[in-house]
Amino acid sequence: MKLYPEELETTEGTSVQLTTGETEPASSTDSWKSIYDIISSLEKYKTEEVLFYAAQILSEEMGSKDVAIYTVANREYARLYSSTSKEARRLGNSIKYVAMGELYDDLKAGRIYVNELKDPERPALSIAVHAEEDIRVILMFWDVSEDKH
């Protein structure tokens, strides 16, 4: 499955069934509030601390207890910057991300990697943060709660 970030669109213009049985237009207000809350919680940290605390925030938002954040050291390797568990660190402190096959291909193309084959050596979900054409940060989620999505 190939997912592009722009495919994760808002529910604006659709309807949702309320517990009262009535139908009401869905709104992205809750999503914006969630994003505001996340950004506000990170503002208290120094620039170099943000990624460290971001792993915990991503863990809570994604419903994943095993989150790892890697920063790209050069065009082949990334270093573990922050993680929420031993399981999230399973690939080690340094990874040769360009040798990760489909995962690398998806990240390089700006797609979200989804581990459809449930390969235990790959995260359930991964996405890269790009600066211009280069991957700068790799986010890995080793378990993703279906209840959150």
Specify whether the backbone of 31 is left (phi greater than 0), alpha (psi in -120 to 50) or beta: alpha
Question: How is residue 115 written in tokens?
Answer: 């581990």
Average pLDDT (94-104) is 96
Say which residues have a Cβ less than 8 Å from residue 41's Cβ, sequence separation at least 6: 53, 57
Select from 68, 64, 50, 83 the least CA-distant residue to 139: 68
- What percent of the chain shows pLDDT beyond 70? 75
* Mean pLDDT, the chain, integer: 79
Reduced to 3 states (helix: H, G, I; strand: E, B; else coil), residue 95 is strand
pTM given for the model = 0.72
